[in-house]
Amino acid sequence: MSLSVGIVGLPNVGKSTLFNALLKKQAAYVANFPFATIEPNVGIVPVPDSRLDGLARVIKESERMAELPPKVPATVEFLDIAGLIAGAHKGEGLGNKFLAHIRETSVVCHVLRVFTDPEIIREGSSNPQSDFETVETELKLADLQTLEKQAEPKGTTSKDELARWRTVSKLKEALQKGIPAREVELDEEEQKSARSLSLLTAKPILVALNVDETDLKQGGELEERYSQELGVDRNQVVTICAKTEAELAELSLEEQKAYLQELGVGEFGLEKLIQRAYATLGLINFLTAGVKEVRAWTIQNGISAQQAAGVIHSDFEKNFIKADVVNFEIFVEVGGWQAAREQGKVRSEGKEYFIQDGEVVEFKIGAA
Residues of each annotated binding site for ATP: 12-17
Phi, psi of 291 (to 5 degrees): -70, -25
- Give SS3 for 185: coil
Distances (CA, A) of 142 to 6, 185, 269, 306: 17, 20, 31, 39
Sheet architecture: strand order including 75-80: 41-46, 75-80, 4-8, 107-113, 205-210, 237-240
Angle, CA of 7, 9 and 14, to the nearest 5°:
75
Distance between CA 179 and CA 202 in Å, rounded?
10
Look at the chain and count its residues: 368
Taking the CA atoms of residue 277, residue 283, residue 286 and residue 287 in that order, the dihedral angle to the nearest 10 degrees is -20
Rg (C-alpha) for the chain, rounded Å, is 23
Distance between CA 145 and CA 326 in Å, rounded?
50
Instruction: Give 333's Cβ-side CA count (13 Å radius).
Output: 7
**The pairing of beta strand 75-80 with beta strand 41-46:** antiparallel
Residues contributing to the annotated binding site: 12-17
Distance between CA 258 and CA 264 in Å, rounded?
10
- Give SS3 for 43: strand
Q: Which helix (H) or strand (E) holds 41?
A: strand 41-46
